[in-house]
Every structure is written in C-alpha cells, then in structure tokens.
Amino acid sequence: MEKALVYTNYPSSYQEELNKAFSDAGFSVVWIAPNPNDGSLKERACREAADASVAILGAGLPVSVLESSSVLRWVHFDWVGIENAATKTLFDKGVIITNGSGRNSICLAEHVFYFIFTMTYESRHILEAQDRHEWKVKHDYPYASLYGRSMLILGTGSIGQAIASRAKAFGMRTIGFSRTRKDLAMFDEILASSEGAILQDAVKDIDFLVVAASLNKSSYHMVDSRVFEAMKPDAYVVNISRGSVIDEAALIEALREKRIAGAGLDTVEQEPLSQDSPLWDFPSVVITPHSTPQSPLKFEIGVNTVIENIGRFRSGAKLINAQSAQDLLN
C-alpha cells in the first residue's frame, strides 16, 4: 500500500475530508499537523517523507528530504510561490509538483485595489488634512476615476485573472502580459513575450502596472530601469507577487526622480524590509508587510483541489496546478 504524508493543519472538518479521500483511494495516511513551536513534529515529517509516494505539505520541509526520496511521485506545496521548493532534481526525477494556486486569489486581487485607491486618492494627504481639521486636500497627481484607465497585469494566472475581472468591473482597460498567449475573456488584450512582446514597449501608455507573475530566471528583475523610463510619470506600480520581479534599486531611483507616480508593495526583495530602506519614506509609496487578508474560501478551494488531484493521480490524468520545469526554472 502506498503511503501519503499529509503535513497540513486545516480546520478539522477539512482535514478529516482530506485524510478520508486518501484512505478511500487506497493510501495509508500519515497525518502530522505542523507546529512551529514543536520541532519534533517537523523531524517526524521528515522521517515519514522518506517512504511516502505522495507528500501534501502545508509547511515547508527541507528540499534535501524530498530530493533524496526514491519513491516520491507527487508533492503538493499548499502555497503559491514555490520557486525555492520545486527544484531541478525533483523535476528530473519525474516527481509531479503542484501548488496552491487559486486559493487566495480573491483577496490578493482585492489587495491590489487597496493599493490603487490608497495611492490615487492620496489617502496620506486626506488623513493628514483630517488630523488638522482642514476641509481641503492637496493632490499631487490627477484625481481621477478608474473608469477608462488602463491596467497592464504582468502574469495571467489565477491571481492575474482575478485582478483583471475586478478591473473590468470598474470599467478599466485590461492588458495581460505573459510568456505565452492565453485567450482569456477578462483581458481586452494579451501580449506574449514568446511572440516578441517587450515589456518596456507595453507600459508606455498604461496607468497601472500590476506585478502578479511568478519568480523565475526569466522574471527576475523583469521590471527594471528600462520599464520605469518607459512609463508615464503619472503611472503607478503595484507588486502583489515576489519582490525580486522588480529591480528594487531601479524602483527607488524612479521614485526619487519622479519617473512614476507611486508604488504599492506587498513584497520586497529582502524581507523584512530594512529599517533604513528609502522605500519607507516616499510619500507616494504604500507598503504592507507581505500580509493580505485571507479568503474565506481558502481552505475549501485548497482541499477540493487536492481531493480532485487524488483521483487524477490514480487515473494518470494531468493534475490541477501541475507545474512545469520551464515555468519555474527558466
């Protein structure tokens, strides 16, 4: 009987449903609930992973543990950014790798608009005026509705799609930029780098550049000085992805020289952000500490995806959120 290591800490009803799905599919199930205050649980999970053909991970295990397994056939990382967990060795050994894409897209998309409204309303000035009991607000940039304005979304996966859907509700023009073309209804236009699209050309007339792409060799520092120089001085940047997709030094220089109007940053290159980083002090920058609201559907989507994939794994069908070495490593 094949063994499934389930190293997750879902609410009890979801956990029971997941464990039962594995048992019904003929797996012996070893469930360990991660606890950051109890290192022995992680040590036990590492031992159990040695002879598990499936590992469902809600918390990280050392990559070396997974790479050394001779029986591992499928590993699910129950989060989105798995660039440090999915390695060439795992792909070379034929291990199927899936992630938690889609489970928190709703709230990540909402968070983008928190940034956008905070920046475009210039809420800092509004709150300062309120503190002064002053019925007057200064606006450094045009105080305009989102209707009719344009948004380029770098990355057209589940998060990018959720952002675009909400932008369309505001009457915005949505442009997707990705490695390969995907025809998606929530985008007015799709630009693909595989077809020759160049990011610095694509950003020339847009009002908002939203970074929602995964981090890999191709996307590292993709938003660089050339991109900032091409943007309009009243355009904004929002990063809801990984900090290193943006060249942070180039961003600081663009803000300092007012080549762009502002930036909303949930992630930065080195986290936590250093206390002496210039990013803290730009009045046009809004920073959240890699912290977004949690979707009420997070556990439901996450567990249902894994359960569906159990059946697909048994039948040999392609798994939902199956990752490729090309997308993650190139």
User: Which residues are known catalytic residues?
Assistant: 242, 271, 290
Residue with tokens 């959120």: 321
**Total Cβ atoms within 10 A of residue 57:** 22
- Rounded to whole angstroms, how far apart are CA atoms 107 and 193? 28
Sequence-distant (6+) residues with CB within 8 A of 76 are 54, 55, 56, 57, 97, 98, 99, 100, 306, 309
Question: What single-letter amino acid sits at 66?
Answer: L
Q: Tokens standing for 174?
A: 């949505």
Sequence-distant (6+) residues with CB within 8 A of 30 are 3, 4, 5, 6, 48, 52
Q: Of 138, 268, 153, 87, nearest to 69 (Cα)?
A: 87
Give DSSP secondary structure letters for 226-280.
Answer: HHHHHS-TT-EEEE-S-GGGB-HHHHHHHHHTTSSSEEEES--SSSSPPTT-GGG
Strands (E), 137-231: 150-154, 173-178, 189-192, 208-211
- What SS3 state is found at 178? strand
Helices (H), 93-190: 105-120, 123-131, 158-169
* Alpha-carbon distance values, 257 to 56, 87, 193, 207, 312 (Å): 47, 39, 29, 18, 53
Q: Of 86, 93, 103, nearest to 71 (Cα)?
A: 93
Please confirm whether the linkage preceding 272 is cis (ω < 30° from 0).
Answer: yes
Sheet holding 96-99: strands in order across? 28-31, 3-7, 54-57, 74-77, 96-99
